[in-house]
Amino acid sequence: MKIIVCIKQVPDTTSVKMNPETNTLIRDGVVSIINPFDTYAIEEGVRLKEKYGGEIIAISMGPPQVEESLRDALSLGVDNAYLLTDRAFAGADTLATGYTLAAGIKKLGGADIIILGRQAMDGDTGQVGPSIGENLGIPHITNVRKIEQIDEDGIIIIERLLEDGYLRLKTKLPVLLTVVKEINEPRLSTIRTKMLARKKEIILWDSNNIDIETDRIGLAGSPTQVIKIFIPSKTIKGKIYQGNVKTSVTSFLKDIQSAGIQFIKKEDKMKNGTN
């Protein structure tokens, strides 16, 4: 089985710096990690390989320092790693990113299963997975919480999380999955696996190495543009109740009621016909 995991490097901090000219994020000088959601994708890919045999490849798009994250992926059980890196890729939105990663995956000859984390913790869009699926012309399933089985004919059964339950779905490989953290508990790398990862080569591809239309990558290939970034107003001065618990609760309830909040049951609301 050939498994490809797409990972993203994200800043390991909540402080954000912006380039005021381009209104894009400055990613230099910030400690970077593998997007936490992607660690579940890596783990699931490694487990599939352990169960069914084959190869697991990690691929990412980004500046040269993403090599570090790919090396981390190698230390977690990934066999080979590829980085799509080129100044021309910079500033890509999810459409251009999906297109570019799909081009990289095509160059790798495709895969039986492609796995991503359900979203990146910096952008929080979750759009790149479906976009890659479309570019490759294979089905995608988001929010997968369990791969139940894959049989010899490539029939795969999975559980996919919804807001109010889950779906059991059946499809045929190849397929692209995005996974949620419930799916597994990622292993940690050891000194030995880290040493082994050091010795491996990470293959770098630029825009000339993959088959792409140059007007569909990077900033130029991105229909969406960030025109303004602002910090939401952070703190509010709330009312504090301290001291005697009983009087605190009493005055709190009085205040919140006068603020228009009624802690009455829904049935009562219906009866009153206010909705």
Site for other proteins in 29-58 (CB under 8 A): 36-37
Q: Does residue 203 interact with other proteins by CB under 8 A?
A: no
State how far Cα 24 lies from the chain centre.
19
Q: Kindly give, in sequence order, each residue whose CB lies less than 8 Å from that of residue 116, ignoring residues fewer than 6 positions away.
A: 5, 6, 7, 38, 41, 128, 129, 132, 176, 177, 178, 179
Q: Kindly give, in sequence order, each residue whose CB lies less than 8 Å from that of residue 76, ignoring residues fewer than 6 positions away.
A: 39, 42, 43, 46, 186, 187, 189, 193
Q: Residue from 230, 258, 273, 274 that binds other proteins (CB under 8 A)?
A: 230
Residue 187 vs 194, nearer CB to other proteins = 187
Mark the segment that binds other proteins (CB under 8 A) among 107-115, 186-194, 200-208, 232-240: 232-240
Buried b (16+ CB within 10 A) or exposed e, 21-35: eeeebebeebebbbb
Mark the segment that binds other proteins (CB under 8 A) among 1-9, 51-59, 78-86, 215-223: 215-223
Q: Residue from 51, 87, 170, 198 that binds other proteins (CB under 8 A)?
A: 170
Mark the segment that binds other proteins (CB under 8 A) among 44-52, 192-200, 202-210, 225-233: 225-233
Residue 195 vs 229, nearer CB to other proteins = 229
Q: Kindly give, in sequence order, each residue whose CB lies less than 8 Å from that of residue 233, ignoring residues fewer than 6 positions away.
A: none
Residue 90 vs 121, nearer CB to other proteins = 121
Q: State the nearest-atom distance from the C-beta of 225 to other proteins, in Å.
A: 5
Q: For residue 55, list its beta bridge partners.
A: 2
Binding positions for other proteins, 93-152, rule CB under 8 A: 93-95, 98-99, 121-131, 133-135, 139-143
